[in-house]
Structure 1
Amino acid sequence: MKISSFVRLHGLSCVTLVVLLASSNLFAQESARQDIVIADFEGDSYGDWKATGDAFGEQPAAGTLEGQMDVSGFEGKSLVNSFRGGDRSTGTLTSPPIAVERPYVTFLIGGGAHEGETCLNLLVNGEVVRTATGPNKTSGGSERLLRAYWDVKSLVGKQVVFQVVDRHQGGWGHVNVDDIRGSDQEAGIPAADITKGPDLRTFATYEEVGYDQPYRPQFHFSSLRNWLNDPNGMVYLDGEYHLFFQHNPVATVWGNMTWGHAVSRDMVRWKQLPHAILPYEGGTIFSGTAAVDVNNTLGVQKGDVKTLVAAFTFAKSPFYQAMAYSTDQGRTFELWNEGKAIVANQGYDSGERDPKIFWHEPSKKWVMVLWVKQAKPGRVLFFNSDDLQKWTEVSQFDRDWVFECMDLVELTVDGDPNQKKWLLYDASFEYEIGEFDGKTFTTDRKVHRGDYGPNYYAAQSFNNMPDDRCVSIGWMRGDNHPFLKEDMPFNQQMSFPTTMELKSTADGLKLYRWPVKEIEDLYGDTLTIEAADLKSAANKLQSYPAELVDLSLDFEANDSTELLLYLRGEKITYREAAFHYGNTVVPAKPVDGIVSLRVLVDRASVELFVNQGAAVSTHYAILEPLNRSLGLSSEQNVKIRKLTVNRLKSAW
């Protein structure tokens, strides 16, 4: 660790500087000089800095500590991190006297925003003359360090002591500090503005980034830059599909939750727009839904353009449900009633969240579905409203399986528009089928699984669809992808849009999902093989390399059939009446002696659709970039009914 005339801070907490008198004239030079590194915390000890208590340990931390969210934004390999033992640990870390030689001190800081308790202080003769805390007070925060600075012109020539302080034992009771420097220039944000967080409005669009990176998904939506998770506010209005999404505008890790925004005319080709709903009043914007105010319930419609209403969770403990609206086709949003609660926290959980709203025509009421409790049994509340502003609880739905991001949709049965049932599902895509009268959801209590893969979560369906389809998109969560390792400017992607419908089976009604037909607009060359033995089909397939793939395979099978499909180095095996991919087993019993499989392959994902969508499995995949090989093999004489491979063009 370097110790020089200034201290380098990395993290969020209280650092104290003690400044003793000295003399120096720093302003004689007209041009900016190289920064003085005061402390970089890169050694195997704190050097001359003295630690007390149990929060800091005996040496800098190599990044994230046990039980902590991912820490990012620090320089080098280590930093000061007082999370040792969790938020209940306390202590101080104090520098020796250091001469102030530059007009500014800059540093990296993160952690809790507890004034005087999680902070970096600057001391002169034992008195705190400058201080900085981390930015976080609520559960919606991030462990990313921010660059900040102090103006210390009046202290040049004096001696100072830096002290990192952790005295808080509650939430965000820790501080992270790194890279303390003396500088001739301001860097980052003023220390007094740290709790305001980054100015998210300056990150309106990322059009300079483009979609041409080696691992950029080519027909799945990903944010041009930075992190995304849950799809939010999916709605159709005036020829456009709107996809809002959980988004960190300033980093490729979770945090600073904001509603990102993209629009499309076909659910395949998306244009990312400026962020829709930004954090306010110390909280962040969690998931929710959007709906078209067809009847002008709010009374704010301008001209013929219908109002978009967005219900979201305001994440500042305790969470509550708030609303925003747009009168210009979603291009800009205004907070309703300054972002105050339309549904207050109900007292079950401090994190009650993710309101699903929609208009229920038979009862002429607005409906809100809200998850409020995870402890078994979990609880979902149903609310009604006449005006979108005042909401009344009308029923409760208690099940062990329910947890966040609830969605309730009405689906046709066997394609008959006169026969419909309702489907309720949660973030993990467990679901029940039943009846909904606008107030109460009743079912046979049978729980089904909507996706077998490890990377499908928090799916949502489009409101106000222009046709009779119900289409959903899920967040492909997880880290089994190449994005971060290969230094992509983005992190995470969405699944490909799928239709949802109910079909009668021998085991009762089941959900079927299938890629939207709009994918056909991306088809390039096509290989079709019909009524062939496996060896003949395999030879033709081997001579047809492809990067972006929509492959369909129908083959004759029984309980002992075994077959292996190769897709760009990935192996999908059929045995024991199931497809095996990685650690996932997807049931695939023959139907009238035939098994069908459809696979979508993008640059970092593989999606399986079995037996016309009876079972679906969504996966990230670390594909070999230059591997375009496709193959088929079996030690048995498997009959191929039909094999179709569509090479896909990029949606961008």
Structure 2
Amino acid sequence: MTDTTVDRAQDRATTHLRPVAHFTAHDTWLNDPNGLVFHDGTWHLFFQNNPHGDTHGNMSWGHATSTDLVTWTEQPVAIRHTDTEEIFSGSAVVDEKNTAGFAGPGQTALVAIYTSAYRPTHPTLAGRQAQSLAYSLDDGRTWTRYEGNPVLDRESADFRDPKVFWYDGADGDGYWVMAAVEAADRQVVLYRSDDLKQWHHLSTFGPAHATGGVWECPDLFPLSVRGTDRARWVMIVSLNPGGVAGGSGVQYFVGDFDGTTFVPDGPGGGPQGADWLDHGRDYYAPVSFNGVADGRRLTVGWASNWDYANDTPTAPWRSAMSLARELELVRTTDGRDRVVQRPVLPEEPRDGLVVHEVEVPTDEGRRHEIVLHGDGPDAVVLTVDAAARTLTGDRRRSGDTEFHPAFPSVDTAPLHDAGATVDLTVVVDGCVLEVFACGGLTALTQLVFPSTPLTRVTVREVAAA
């Protein structure tokens, strides 16, 4: 870290930028969420963390816990880097059947499956990325690396980000499934295991749709279609660069999974055929929680963009997570099954968190601006264009925008199935702005760094473009 006096001065200057419901590390860097798991009434959020500074490096698993998904307590670093290994992204599971054999009588093991990124100093695996295990027998407080690591090595430099879940086979022969990526090949590789230690290849998916950057942080899960007794499978794939708004982005595929192969709906095609989970520049690497018994599917993403993540103007912390989002599928009027997202918000008002519920008419091609502002000159302008059926977020006058040339932006999202009115849930929490429209069919996330909090909203009709 830099001089502590400077750090404290910067911290005071940016106190209003630290969110209250979006998790931030106390005084270090964070990026991708890892190991999201619910166990014994506690939500565990592990995350990519540099324990020694506020920029990317020395990757380890940080750890935070919550009982409500909006009030987070940072815990000690869970799995720390070594001189020969960085701890990249992955997932965690509750090994209720003790398939890996880590638990003793009366114990339940939490098992982390993560990417070992071997440094040049490693005597035999330098430059490789392979999958490894660690386990906890005390509800995630302390972790032990498995002595047989790595458990899956393809001798690749870009094999990473394992998401593991339990799959119940048709004949009761359940097993673990891993979705990981060969990032540079834009492929999701699926494996199965009975014990989390021995893995066997099932199938490979991709490249497909958006392939402008490397693929990262895959997830694969079933999701119910609202109003029906049907469930489909959804595959989430992050990519960087090549996102819909520039830089980092997240696409998703809806299809079917038979325990071996994922088959998406519709043809392949390029990025124009992609469905995007968020149309803002600051939503990346979302993954879903394991261990949620009531069938809900809840995700958390990283609220930043690799174009400028190391330069965002906060100190001594840098980067935030998104709100948790509950996912569902709906059948839209074009006959597609699409993801809708609903943010998890505090049950009671919270200082520093502002939620605006806005509804604007869309008849006769009307155009409305929703202006978010505070006591200073800074503002974000959200525009609902009924004729174009779009939502735009303009943050070019949102405060500090000059720290990186890629930051000032106007991001545009489609308004699927917009009716006579468009409803928006606008969440402003410190430096994070999340907008949900059309019942959650559209999401747009942007970072903002205003000089004073954006606590107010003004809605005005403007001339059609």
Quick check: TM above 0.5?
yes
- Separation in structure 2 between the aligned mates of residue 504 and residue 420 of structure 1, nearest angstrom: 12
Alignment-derived partner of residue 26 in structure 2:
224
- Separation in structure 2 between the aligned mates of residue 451 and residue 572 of structure 1, nearest angstrom: 15
- Separation in structure 2 between the aligned mates of residue 302 and residue 213 of structure 1, nearest angstrom: 46
1:512 aligns with 2:322: no
Distance 1:450 1:584, change over 3 A: same
Distance 1:623 1:467, change over 3 A: farther
1:570 aligns with 2:397: no
**How far did 1:424 drift?**
0.5
Report the secondary structure of 1:228's partner residue: strand
Alignment-derived partner of residue 110 in structure 1:
none
Alignment-derived partner of residue 434 in structure 1:
255
1:473 aligns with 2:300: yes
- Separation in structure 2 between the aligned mates of residue 249 and residue 563 of structure 1, nearest angstrom: 45
Distance 1:228 1:441, change over 3 A: same
Give the letter aligned to residue 393 of structure 1: H
- Separation in structure 1 between the aligned mates of residue 313 and residue 346 of structure 2, nearest angstrom: 30
Distance 1:445 1:335, change over 3 A: farther
1:594 aligns with 2:444: no
Matching residue within 523, 530, 543 for 2:349: 523
Alignment-derived partner of residue 342 in structure 1:
151
Ranges in structure 2 where 5+ consecutive residues have no aligned partner:
4-10, 119-126, 239-248, 268-273, 374-378, 395-409
Per-residue CA deviations over 1:331-373 (Å, capped at 9, x if unaligned) read: 01111125x21101x24x4121011111102241111111014
Alignment-derived partner of residue 623 in structure 1:
450
1:269 aligns with 2:81: no
Per-residue CA deviations over 1:519-570 (Å, capped at 9, x if unaligned) read: 142326xxxxxxxxxxxxxxxxxxxxx9531111123213521111111222
- Separation in structure 1 between the aligned mates of residue 254 and residue 133 of structure 2, nearest angstrom: 29
- Separation in structure 1 between the aligned mates of residue 20 and residue 105 of structure 2, nearest angstrom: 38
Matching residue within 409, 412, 422 for 2:224: 412
Answer whether contact 2:358 2:425 (CA < 8 A) is retained. Answer: yes
1:421 aligns with 2:248: no
Per-residue CA deviations over 1:456-492 (Å, capped at 9, x if unaligned) read: 1111100011422101010012389999675521000
Alignment-derived partner of residue 184 in structure 2:
374
CA RMSD in angstroms, aligned pairs only: 2.6
Matching residue within 191, 196, 201 for 1:383: 191
- Separation in structure 2 between the aligned mates of residue 243 and residue 395 of structure 1, nearest angstrom: 29
Report the secondary structure of 2:347's partner residue: helix
Matching residue within 294, 319, 325 for 2:129: 319
Distance 1:360 1:521, change over 3 A: same
Answer whether contact 2:354 2:455 (CA < 8 A) is retained. Answer: no
Within 5 A, what are the aligned runs for 1:1-40? none
Greater shift after overlay, 456-465 or 272-281? Answer: 272-281
Indicate the structure whose relative CO is greater, using CA pairs within 8 Å and at least 6 residues apart: 2
Number of residue pairs aligned between Structure 1 and Structure 2: 403
Give the letter aligned to residue 359 of structure 1: W
Alignment-derived partner of residue 393 in structure 2:
581
Report the secondary structure of 2:280's partner residue: coil
Within 5 A, what are the aligned runs for 1:637-648? none
- Separation in structure 2 between the aligned mates of residue 373 and residue 574 of structure 1, nearest angstrom: 36
- Separation in structure 1 between the aligned mates of residue 151 and residue 364 of structure 2, nearest angstrom: 55
Alignment-derived partner of residue 397 in structure 2:
none
Give the letter aligned to residue 152 of structure 2: V
Alignment-derived partner of residue 36 in structure 1:
none
TM-score by length of 1: 0.59
- Separation in structure 2 between the aligned mates of residue 372 and residue 590 of structure 1, nearest angstrom: 36
Q: Which runs of 4+ in 1 moved over 3 A?
A: 302-305, 478-487, 589-592, 626-629
Report the secondary structure of 1:405's partner residue: strand
Answer whether contact 1:480 1:621 (CA < 8 A) is retained. Answer: no
- Separation in structure 1 between the aligned mates of residue 442 and residue 99 of structure 2, nearest angstrom: 40
Report the secondary structure of 1:214's partner residue: helix
Answer whether contact 2:284 2:305 (CA < 8 A) is retained. Answer: no
Alignment-derived partner of residue 360 in structure 2:
555
Alignment-derived partner of residue 100 in structure 1:
none
Alignment-derived partner of residue 351 in structure 1:
158
Answer whether contact 1:481 1:620 (CA < 8 A) is retained. Answer: no
Answer whether contact 2:134 2:145 (CA < 8 A) is retained. Answer: yes
Per-residue CA deviations over 1:1-32 (Å, capped at 9, x if unaligned) read: xxxxxxxxxxxxxxxxxxxxxxxxxxxxxxxx
1:443 aligns with 2:252: no
Within 5 A, what are the aligned runs for 1:596-611? 596-611=423-438
Within 5 A, what are the aligned runs for 1:129-528? 213-280=15-82, 282-316=84-118, 317-337=127-147, 340-344=149-153, 346-347=154-155, 349-362=156-169, 363-375=173-185, 378-400=186-208, 401=210, 403-416=215-228, 418-427=229-238, 428-445=249-266, 447-478=274-305, 488-507=315-334, 508-516=336-344, 519-523=345-349
Distance 1:415 1:278, change over 3 A: farther
- Separation in structure 1 between the aligned mates of residue 179 and residue 107 of structure 2, nearest angstrom: 26
Distance 1:547 1:624, change over 3 A: farther
Give the letter aligned to residue 430 of structure 1: Q
Answer whether contact 2:234 2:255 (CA < 8 A) is retained. Answer: yes
Per-residue CA deviations over 1:358-394 (Å, capped at 9, x if unaligned) read: 110224111111101434xx22211111111100001
Distance 1:480 1:441, change over 3 A: closer
- Separation in structure 2 between the aligned mates of residue 411 and residue 320 of structure 1, nearest angstrom: 29
Distance 1:626 1:608, change over 3 A: closer
Ranges in structure 1 where 5+ consecutive residues have no aligned partner:
1-71, 75-208, 525-545, 638-652
Identity of aligned residues (%): 31
Answer whether contact 1:482 1:622 (CA < 8 A) is retained. Answer: no
Give the letter aligned to residue 581 of structure 1: G
- Separation in structure 1 between the aligned mates of residue 190 and residue 161 of structure 2, nearest angstrom: 13
Alignment-derived partner of residue 163 in structure 1:
none
Distance 1:274 1:585, change over 3 A: same
- Separation in structure 2 between the aligned mates of residue 626 and residue 381 of structure 1, nearest angstrom: 44
Report the secondary structure of 1:496's partner residue: coil
Distance 1:560 1:480, change over 3 A: farther
Give the letter aligned to residue 371 of structure 2: Y
Alignment-derived partner of residue 155 in structure 1:
none
